[in-house]
Structure 1
Amino acid sequence: MLTNSREILLVAPFTILPGEKGFNRFTYIADKLSSKGHRVTLLTSNFKHSDKKFRDNAKIEMISKSLKYKIVMLEELGYQKNIGIDRIQSHRQFSKQLAFYLKNIKHNPDVIYCAYPMMDAAFIVGKYAKKFEIPFVMDIQDVWPEAVKNAIPLPEILVDALLYPLTIYANKIYSLADYVVGVSKSYVQRVKKVNLDARSYLPIFIGTDLGVFDRYKDNPVNKEPNEFWITYIGTISYSYDLETVIRAVSILKDKGFTNIVFKVFGSGPLQAKFENLANQLGAPVDFMGHFTYEEMIPYLVKSDIAANAISKGAQQSITNKIGDFLSAGLPILNSSLNKEFMDMVTSENIGLNYNPGDAVKLAALIEQLYTNKGLRAAYGENARRLAEEKFDRRHSYKEIYSLIERATV
């Protein structure tokens, strides 16, 4: 087993860098590996995808001085819509820059840890790793092209036909991995279907650093004593069924539950649509916008229910928000049809499942939890226990570090 210091290249086009709002596991991994004495380079984009803005090079350079690892940003063209020609061209530009970077690298790394997606980037890195016999670890953050199906307004059979060439391409990329890591068992199994030759398959939830979470959980926030909060955190886009939650709280308001409020933390392309819907229905919805992770934590802890509002057909499995919901000790109302997470909700007794689009059923479930404080408490206790057992990055990520350190071809 290799135990000496290693040269490690992390490739993560969509990562969130220190000083930016949100969390991505690659900076966390880079920090921990460099603290263990490894020489780590984190390669990412100069374009921050979450808010569609270019990064301030001078600011990142200043922040980098305090880090133990190196940040390299490659140029991208940028885009404003998640689906469109501009995004394709932007990613192609990043991939060209990535290929150029690898071609001119002075010393090959000892191991490469690469995010998937973006697809072209993972393919380029995988081919490079194979050429120079470098151990290639692929971390599946999302399953493309399946993840974009919901954003294409066509019948499913046509969408599948349209995306078929990309599915073949994805299979080709997955086959390059020597080691497979993924944010859920579902994603790891997707790779294993077409790559039976990898040395290991390791599902590790994105999770939460409970040390950081608990440091901020008791910070004061303004909540009216009689308000009952149902809270969603994340992107406001096609894969997230906020409409059903908005309609459900509207139904409950009409029944006299005027203190139940839906709190939405985040932003995205469908925000205006959902704001208009809430206004039309007179629904009690607060669109809170973007908060830093530390600012968001006490709001989540003060909430009463977490809304894992996932649209029908969406491919999300166990997202980063799940770790935060569990850490806050919240019962979860879940509309994801991902079997892995539906089974977790029932087997771990952390909340209730419902079908996306069924606002009447969701309203009934909210009312059930609203009127039963003991049930909320039981679900919440189970949620926090699960966070401590399986979602605390301080412990769960040790398996990732070990895999990287012992990776060989």
Structure 2
Amino acid sequence: MKRIAVITMGVKLNNENGYTRFRFLSEFLVEKGYEVDLITSSFQHWAKEQRDIESISKEKYPFRLRFIEEPGYKKNIDLRRIYSHSVAAKNLKKMLNHDGAYDLIYCEIPPNDVALSAAEYAHEHDIPFVVDVNDLWPEAMQMVIDIPIVSHVLFYPLLRDAEKVYELCAGVIGTSDEYTDRPFTKNVRNIPKETVYVGNEISVFDEGVEANIQAIKKESGEFWVTYAGTIGTSYDIRTMVQAADELKKQGYMNIYFKILGGGPLKDELEEYAKTLLGNVEFTGYVPYDKMAAYLRKSDILINSFIKKAPQSIVNKIADYLAAGKPMINTCSSIEFRNKVARDGFGVNIEAEDKKLLVDAILEIFNDEEKQKQMGYSARKIAEEQFNRPNSYNKIVALIEDLIKKD
């Protein structure tokens, strides 16, 4: 039985918050006949605290869990986070040197230095290394800390590590075409690559809807405009709050905005909303199954980003599409804007413009046929392109080919 290491610093284990991409992939590879070690951090990124590893170890998983010791940090963009990842990178190298007899290593990037430790170990021991690109560092950080010359110097080590990882990989998986192509911008290489959206398990989404839909109370005649995700610097929630205010002033008393999730700007924006007239509710963090029901009960979903946000096709898109509702997209990614227009599940507008957002909402609000057509297209694309039990077969095929070549 071939042995694979799946390395990620951010994964949801039982009863935690977070993303399930790498847990699903690990389980999926076990089902395909591989022996899998899921290697992750002792620090839980979303809770910003150390994991109770003893308690987690009592739970049953089809794969083996291994934990990299990491000191942790308090903020997503923080010098302590950079230090914490550097410690994790060194501890990962120690772990692999102690027990790293794998037939293939599969690792996410970022963090760039953690990925580099894995890539260098794989290169030194002639092990095929697959990089999973699901964000771009330092590009994303430079959006927040954009100081001429200073930012370039500050983030150069991240850029240097990323380029080294891309030089050493034997295969590339990206969560969008933009991310898949990133390793080849400075390294023209003939290695396998695939774009596999983060996706979801539509059956799990639908189970969440069925279990919670009756508990989500929506009065007759209410029209819900909903955002689900982090409330932070990349996400343009302020314009949503302003649009709610404007719609109320125009007499649309039945349009309600639901903001699902938490983040560093939640309290500030919630207080700001209270100073205006709009119908806005900040629900706080909502468990996945309940979130699914909220999305299904909504009428429009907002993929809301600021103009400078570097994100492409993010995690929430799979759930938005599975809900079968029209989407208003403010993300600047050309790839995703083209997809929205081509696949017909929503409309694109420029970010940070209250009038454009109000006009887009009213365009959909006043056209029931458009609502139905966009909702149908959304669900169809979710089933065809974002459903993990189907789409992740492309990852398995790439892994199989590299192991055979090795």
**TM class by smaller structure:** over 0.9
- For residue 370 of structure 1, the aligned residue among 338, 352, 365 is 365
TM-aligned CA deviation for residue 42 of structure 1:
0.3
Q: Cα RMSD over matched residues?
A: 1.6
**More deviation, 20-29/324-333:** 20-29
Residue in structure 2 matched with residue 326 of structure 1 by the alignment: 321
Cα deviations by residue, 1:215-266 (Å, 9 ceiling, x for unpaired): 2223322122222111111111111111111111111011111221211111
Residue in structure 2 matched with residue 127 of structure 1 by the alignment: 120
Residue in structure 2 matched with residue 62 of structure 1 by the alignment: 58
Are 2:99 and 1:78 aligned?
no
Distance (Å, rounded) in 2 between the aligned partners of 1:303 and 1:21: 23
Asked if structure 1 preserves the Cα contact closer than 8 Å seen for 2:131 and 2:173, the reply is: yes
Residue in structure 2 matched with residue 204 of structure 1 by the alignment: 196
- For residue 140 of structure 1, the aligned residue among 126, 133, 145 is 133
SS at match of 1:230: strand
Asked if structure 2 preserves the Cα contact closer than 8 Å seen for 1:175 and 1:194, the reply is: no
Normalised by the length of structure 1, the TM-score is: 0.94
- In the superposition, relative to structure 1, how do residues 374 and 11 fare at CA in structure 2: closer, same or farther (>3 Å)? same
Structure 2 unpaired stretches of 5+: none
TM-aligned CA deviation for residue 163 of structure 1:
3.1
Cα deviations by residue, 1:324-379 (Å, 9 ceiling, x for unpaired): 11000011100011000000111111111111111111011111111111111111
Cα deviations by residue, 1:306-325 (Å, 9 ceiling, x for unpaired): 10001111111001100111
Residue in structure 1 matched with residue 305 of structure 2 by the alignment: 310
Letter aligned with residue 31 of structure 2 = S
- For residue 214 of structure 1, the aligned residue among 191, 206, 221 is 206
- In the superposition, relative to structure 1, how do residues 193 and 24 fare at CA in structure 2: closer, same or farther (>3 Å)? same
Distance (Å, rounded) in 2 between the aligned partners of 1:399 and 1:40: 18
Residue in structure 2 matched with residue 19 of structure 1 by the alignment: 15
Cα deviations by residue, 1:20-70 (Å, 9 ceiling, x for unpaired): 23432100011111122211000001111122122111221122xx21101
SS at match of 1:267: coil
Identical-pair percentage: 37
Are 2:236 and 1:244 aligned?
no
Distance (Å, rounded) in 2 between the aligned partners of 1:151 and 1:51: 22
Residue in structure 1 matched with residue 83 of structure 2 by the alignment: 89
TM-aligned CA deviation for residue 170 of structure 1:
1.8
Distance (Å, rounded) in 2 between the aligned partners of 1:282 and 1:156: 39
- Aligned 1:38-187 pairs, distance under 5 A: 38-63=34-59, 66-105=60-99, 108-152=101-145, 154-155=146-147, 159-160=151-152, 162-187=154-179
- Aligned 1:258-269 pairs, distance under 5 A: 258-269=253-264
Cα deviations by residue, 1:82-117 (Å, 9 ceiling, x for unpaired): 122221221122112111101111x51000000101
- In the superposition, relative to structure 1, how do residues 376 and 215 fare at CA in structure 2: closer, same or farther (>3 Å)? same
Structure 1 unpaired stretches of 5+: none
Asked if structure 2 preserves the Cα contact closer than 8 Å seen for 1:149 and 1:314, the reply is: no
Letter aligned with residue 353 of structure 1 = N
Distance (Å, rounded) in 1 between the aligned partners of 2:12 and 2:61: 14
TM-aligned CA deviation for residue 404 of structure 1:
1.5
SS at match of 1:281: coil
Residue in structure 2 matched with residue 31 of structure 1 by the alignment: 27
Distance (Å, rounded) in 2 between the aligned partners of 1:303 and 1:157: 45
Asked if structure 1 preserves the Cα contact closer than 8 Å seen for 2:113 and 2:161, the reply is: no
Distance (Å, rounded) in 2 between the aligned partners of 1:155 and 1:248: 31
Distance (Å, rounded) in 2 between the aligned partners of 1:287 and 1:61: 35
SS at match of 1:407: helix
SS at match of 1:8: strand
Q: How many residues align?
A: 401
Distance (Å, rounded) in 2 between the aligned partners of 1:191 and 1:233: 30
Asked if structure 1 preserves the Cα contact closer than 8 Å seen for 2:305 and 2:351, the reply is: yes
Asked if structure 1 preserves the Cα contact closer than 8 Å seen for 2:226 and 2:300, the reply is: yes
Normalised by the length of structure 2, the TM-score is: 0.95
